[in-house]
Structure formats: structure tokens, C-alpha cells
Structure 1
Amino acid sequence: MSLKLLSTSMLMAFASHAAANDIHDALSNSTAYADFNLRYESVDQDNALKDASSLTLRTWLGFSTGSVNGFSFTAEVEDSRIVMGQDEFTVGPTGFNVGEYSVIADPETTELDQAYIQYKNDNFTARVGRQVITLDDHRFVGHVAWRQDKQTFDAVSAKYAVNKELELFYSYLYKRNRIFAEAADLDSKDHILHATYKSKVGKFVAYAYLLEVDNDTSNALDTYGVSYDGKMQGDSINWAYGAEFATQSSESGSAETAVDFDASYFNAYLGATMSGITAKIDYEVLGSDDGLYGFATPLATLHKFNGFADLFLATPTQGLQDVKLSLSGKAAGGKWLLAYHDYSADESTAEVDDLGSEINAQYTTTFAHKYRFGIKYAAYDAGDIKVDTNRFWMWVGTRF
């Protein structure tokens, strides 16, 4: 009995010592970072609202431990502050200057941006807690990090690499932490399913996004889709091309108040790069259901699509067709972009057909190896709906 007790005590002491060493190694291999982004934004719209302007500083402070038997922990705090009293803008969901100025969606906030436990081995990764989730080009699921308060999710997620070609991803989202601080966060019961297959001829993706807001009402937004992206190198021109198609059903209410809509999504693009200049044409259609409902992507990084002026963050009920022509390249150590959008309704009516056009320009660069600088402009010329809008941004940031 004494020998057994001694053996057990020695094993427990050794295990405790080994665990202590593992924790020490994990903390020794931890990383911390700080990221700052100071941005000026102005908005001039042809309506009764006052022109808006803001100067805000966004700060991220993050910490990730090393791994213990595949487990690690990450936490990130985010803060956004108005600088030098430049607060002439409206953030509707937070109640800030409601109805006075044009919208600049950068509320003052301090919040826990990420906090998750991760398990990872050679081909499997799982996370539990508040986290960033992005898929593909952010068209359906993104972090909206363009805004000063980025979008994260309270979720359980898992990614499994079946082999070098096939990767599977699943996540259950139980809260959407949106870009308006806590004022517009939504409890949810969302299922995200995503599969990627990489082959010699390109990348194939299939997905199902089954979304539901957890608000004690009957609602569902289900989207199923597939996409393909390919590349081809020529003697003097490199080509990029792809297409995507999705169907969506939206259901809300019950019994006599039940409403059910169906819409589809289509995108196709072709790009050519020669002598460092890329010319690209995109054709995107967010469909309509008889002019009563427009295809929706509520988890997307919407600023990236349908123009920098942010006039189509919500799809019109008539749907949206967007023909985009763009040129991009490098100059003076940075990257530049010029784009033109032509918008029209997917299902036209006598009153709504032409949805306007827009010109976008952007230049970004880094300097002194650690600092980033950017400038961006959007000019929207209204059609049958919306109003003429000009937006301008200038920002500088760094990361430690």
C-alpha cells in the first residue's frame, strides 16, 4: 500500500511538473500586438442631412498564447475614439446624432473583440468563443474590418483538411457582434457550412448559410451556392476568371402573417494582367422576387462590394445589377485602384430602373516599413432612387 501511494504521489508530482512546464512554455511562446488606425472620413449627400465628417482612432490590443497539447488561447480588445472633437456624423443604431448628419458607421466603443480557445493539429482546427470568421472573398461571411469596429461572432467553429485538395468548414454562430458596438448585436442560431476543393484547373466552393435571428419570432434566411475561380498564365498576359451562383429563401412570420420570398445570386468576372496593370470586368446580380424582396447577405463585408459609397448595403427590393470595370496596379511603392460601377434594377418597374453609377479611386502604401497610409474617394451619381453622394477617406496606421 505504501509503495502504491508513493508511486501515485510521484506520478502526480511528475504530471504536475510536466503540466507546469507546458504552461510555462506556452506563456513563453505567447505573442502580443497592438494595432492603431487613425482615419478621417467625410460625406456630402444631396439631401436635407448635414454633411458629415469624423476623425476616429481605432486601437486593437491582442494576445495569443503558445500551444499546450494543441490548445491555445487568444484575446483581443478593441477601442474606437473620436479625436479632436470631430464628431459631426450620425450612427443611427447607437442613437448618436440621429437624423442630423449623414451616416459614418464608426461609433465610440470599447469592447472585447475576440476571446476564444483553439485546438489545432496537423489537419484539424477548432475554436470556441468570440472570433473572426471570413470565407472566400467576404461576399457572404466577413469581418467588416474596414469599419473601426469590426464584426466578430460568438461561435463554435471547426475546419478539417481532408487532404491537400479538400477542406471542410462548419460553424454555429450564436451571436453576431456587428459594427455598431453592442447597440445592434444580434443573438442568432446560424449554421455555416463550407467546402473548398482545389484542383489543377482552379478552386471549387460549395456552401450553405442557414441563418436565423434568435428573437422569439419565426424567421429563416437560407442560402445555397457554388463558385469557381481559375487562373491561366500566358506569354504576356495572365488571366483570372470565375463565376458564382446561389439561391436564397427568406421566411418570416407564421400562419396568416407568414411571408416567403425566393431570390438568386449570380456573379462572373474576367481579369487580365499585363505589364503590372490589371483590367477586370465584374458582372454581379443580386436578384429580386417580383420587386418585393432583394437578395440579402447580412454577414458580408458589404463595403467591399457595390461601390465604396455604401449606397447598396441593403439590396433594393427591385434587386441590383452591378457592372463594374476596374483598373489596378502599383506605383510609388503602393497600390492604386480605379473603378466604375453601373447599377440597374434586376426587376424594373415603371418608377425604378436606373439605379445610378459610381466612380471609385483608392491608393494605399506603406512607409518606414511599419506604417500604412491610404486615401480613397467615391462619387455616386443617383438614378431613380438614392441621392448623389461623395465620400472621402484618409488614414494612417501601424502595428507593433
Structure 2
Amino acid sequence: MKFVRFSFSFLLFTILMSANAQVKVDAELRPRFEYRHGFKTLFPDNADPAAFISQRTRLKLNYKVEKYDFYISLQDIRVWGDVPQLVTADNSGLSIHQAWAKIRFDSNFALKIGRQEIIYDDSRFFGNVDWAQQARSHDVALLQYKKGAERFDIGFAFNQDNESLTGTTLTTPGTYKAFQYVWYHKDWSNFSASFLFLNNGLQFIDAANSDNNETRYSQTLGSHMKYGKKRLKFTGNFYYQFGSDVADNDLNAYLLGLDLSYKASDKTKLGLGIEIQSGNDNGAPSNGKNKAFSPFYGTNHKFNGLMDYFFVGNHFNNVGLQDIYVNSNFKLNAKSNLVIAYHNFSAQADLMNSNKKQLGSELDMVYSYKIQKDLFLKVGYSQLFPSEGMEILKGNTDGNTNNWGWVMLVVKPTIFNGSK
């Protein structure tokens, strides 16, 4: 810990003293209180609700010179009370969230390499999951092209758990072995479109025979499109998955999303939409076929309800989802706004031992207030109204209330911003 502090302090001093450099240093402190009574899954009998305060602390440094950029983001993630007082060693979540360099070959081409967030379009398939205190980043090499209204990215990742002498089997849980992708985006006057192709490799490990360990690849082909004119805006997401899943099932899955928003006034915006993700009958692949779509690296908390019942650490390879929703955004004054959304959920495929697909509905409300520059308060409340289908899906018929509330303070000062 002392070495990390010394190293970063020395690096910061060296950069600030460099000539012909643009330097910016930002910080972030984000404590959040949560009350969970049915968050992610139906609340069981004979249990107490959860309540805790988590906190993210970040220090971010961005250094720019003529031919390259350098960026580093250090973060500490903790729950208040997860280490004792007077502790001699802190084993909490100190980590490097981002550490990358961007090398500019000319005005159009660049190479961005290192640990970095990948965010495209509306974050449906690639996003940083900023709601999660730890957020998401990737170790990746990214070749970028940008000219006028066009952007073209090619990304490569290859993960390994140590510097081994033999073999390349990845044993790190919860991550991918490798991927390669191409993303293209272009803007027109009232229309924009993006196209994505991802070749995603997951590590298969055969416990009985290590010679059978292999990387199994699926492919995702998709598009994100937007059309806007005057007060109306249409957004569409279309993705298709094929290839093999990690269990070597043949993958045949899709996501379709359509969203309409209307700016009723300078203070009110209204929206409605539908998203369908394909799934498996009875909630599991069968006969070597998998029809369940996986939004691998998207900011899934942003979609399908804020209570995270779907595709946030759960619901993968299951019965899929149909989400019909309406939402509204009210600008209350110059410093505050209120977002209200209502979702109606149903299964896309058949539930086990039931001909009912209705899962229930959810109401989400988020209030935001700008206290002053770099200081924000956010408050949220969500209520889930489950139906019989949700009880079958989650294996819980206790019939309890399911709600979730939170309060978050965000402090994001710029410590230094200048050039020498």
C-alpha cells in the first residue's frame, strides 16, 4: 500500500513537471446507502432485509502530449465496516480500474492499449456498468480510425491467469478467454447507425481430461440505429448470436429492441419501448441447442428494470425476456430532475410446468439534485410486483413485498487542469 502511494505520487510529480503536456487530475468519492428487500430475487420468509453503505473512491490522471495520451484510474471499493478499526493491513478493494496509453499515428489512426472501459452506443452490448461501484474494464488492444462522421474500431483481448511455462488454460472465474471485434459507426443529418461483430471465446475446462480444455467461440452480429427529428427520436437494437456456448451447445439467439421518445416540452420527455431477448423453454438448453441471448458486456443495470432481476449476475441461459416499458423524465428546475419508469415483464420462452409467461411489473423512480458544481445527490426507489410466473422462475411463493431504496452522494472535483 505504501509502495502504491509512493509510486503514484512520484508519477504525478514527474508528469506535472513535464513540458508541453496537458495534464488533468480528477477525483471521485461516491458513498451509497442501500436498503434491499427483494433486490435481484423475491424476498423469502424468515429473513431480514439488507442495509449497508458501499463506497467508491477514485483518483484519475490524464496526460496528453502531441503523439500520445496516458490515463490511469486508481480506485478503492469498500463497504463501510468491512475491515476492523486500528487494522494494520487493509485487504479491501484497492485496484487499477484503467491504465492505458493511446498512441496517435496521424490525425485519423490511433492505437489504444491497456486496461480500459469499452463503451459503444447506448451501452447495450459494451458498457462500463458505472452503477456498480467497481464498474467494468477490459485488458484490450484497440485500433481506432476516426474521420469526420465515421468511426471504426478493431479490438483484441487475450486473457491468462499467470505467467505460466506451459499451457494457456484460463482458470480465472467470471471472465472470457479471448475476443476479437469490429465496430463501425456513421452519422448522417438525422440518422446514425452502428454495426458490431464480436467473436467471443469462453474457456471450457474438462475436469476429467485436461487434454480436452479448449476455447469455445460464439459470434454476435448486431446493429444500433437512431433517428431523430424535432421532438421525436427512434432507437433500435438488433443483435443475433450463433456459434457455440461454453457447454458446446449450438447457439441460436437474438435481441430486438425498439424505443420511442418524445420531448413534450423543455422540461418533460416521455418514452415507451419494447425489448425481446430470446430464451430456452423450461429455462435451460436442451438437445444440444441454446436459444438464450447473452448481452455479454453491456450495462445491463440500465435496461430491464433497476432491481436487476434480469441479466445482472442472473437469468443467463434461461427463458429469455419480453420487457414492455414506459418512462418519463421531468426537469423540476435548473438543479433537479425526476425519472419514472414502469416495466411489464414476461418470459419469451415457456416456463417449466406452466403455460403462463407473465412475470410481473416494476416501478422505478430516481431523483437527482445538483447541490453545487461537482457535488450531486441521487435518490432512488423501486417496487416489484411479481406474478405467478416470477414465483416459478425464482422458486419462491412466499408472497412478500419486494422493494429497494438507495441514496447516493457523488463528489467529483477536478484537482488540477492545465498545460505547461
- Normalising by structure 1, we get a TM-score of 0.80
1:340 to 342, 345, 351: 342
The answer to whether the 8 Å contact 1:342/1:358 transfers is yes
Could you tell which deviates more after superposition, 286-295 or 299-308?
Answer: 286-295
Structure 1 residue 47, shift from structure 2 partner:
1.1
Structure 1 residue 370, shift from structure 2 partner:
2.3
* Residue 5 of structure 2: aligned partner: none
* Residue 369 of structure 2: aligned partner: 365
Partner secondary structure for residue 19 of structure 2? helix
- The letter of the residue matching 1:286 is Q
* Residue 61 of structure 2: aligned partner: 63
Structure 1 residue 79, shift from structure 2 partner:
0.2
Count of residues in correspondence between the two structures: 348
Identity of aligned residues (%): 19
Partner secondary structure for residue 133 of structure 1? coil
- The letter of the residue matching 1:206 is F
Supply the distance in 2 between the matched residues of 1:338 and 1:210 (Cα, whole angstroms). Answer: 37
Supply the distance in 1 between the matched residues of 2:327 and 2:404 (Cα, whole angstroms). Answer: 19
**Given the superposition, is the C-alpha separation of residues 111 and 85 from structure 1 closer, same or farther in structure 2, using an over 3 Å criterion?**
closer
2:19 to 25, 33, 55: 25
Structure 1 residue 394, shift from structure 2 partner:
0.3
* Residue 164 of structure 1: aligned partner: 148
1:243 to 236, 246, 264: 236
Using CA pairs under 8 Å that are at least 6 residues apart, name the structure with larger relative contact order, 1 or 2.
Answer: 2
The answer to whether the 8 Å contact 2:144/2:152 transfers is yes
The answer to whether the 8 Å contact 1:153/1:176 transfers is no
- 1:225 and 2:222 matched: yes
- The letter of the residue matching 1:357 is S
- The letter of the residue matching 2:240 is T
- Normalising by structure 2, we get a TM-score of 0.76
Partner secondary structure for residue 65 of structure 1? strand
Partner secondary structure for residue 103 of structure 2? strand
- The letter of the residue matching 2:404 is R
Supply the distance in 2 between the matched residues of 1:24 and 1:367 (Cα, whole angstroms). Answer: 35
Supply the distance in 1 between the matched residues of 2:235 and 2:64 (Cα, whole angstroms). Answer: 39
* Residue 397 of structure 1: aligned partner: 410
Structure 1 residue 290, shift from structure 2 partner:
4.6
Structure 1 residue 250, shift from structure 2 partner:
5.0
Supply the distance in 2 between the matched residues of 1:327 and 1:78 (Cα, whole angstroms). Answer: 33
Aligned ranges for residues 14-93 of structure 1 at < 5 Å? 24-26=18-20, 28-45=21-38, 46-48=43-45, 49-67=47-65, 69-83=66-80
In the TM superposition, structure 1's runs of 4+ consecutive aligned residues that sit over 4 Å from their partners are: 20-23, 84-87, 182-185
The answer to whether the 8 Å contact 2:28/2:412 transfers is yes
Supply the distance in 1 between the matched residues of 2:82 and 2:112 (Cα, whole angstroms). Answer: 39
Supply the distance in 2 between the matched residues of 1:81 and 1:377 (Cα, whole angstroms). Answer: 23
* Residue 9 of structure 1: aligned partner: none
Supply the distance in 1 between the matched residues of 2:369 and 2:138 (Cα, whole angstroms). Answer: 30
Of structures 1 and 2, the larger Rg is shown by: 1
Supply the distance in 1 between the matched residues of 2:202 and 2:380 (Cα, whole angstroms). Answer: 34
Partner secondary structure for residue 64 of structure 2? coil
The answer to whether the 8 Å contact 1:79/1:108 transfers is yes
- 1:206 and 2:195 matched: yes
- 1:330 and 2:331 matched: yes
The answer to whether the 8 Å contact 1:190/1:211 transfers is yes
Unaligned runs of 5+ in 1: 1-19, 88-106
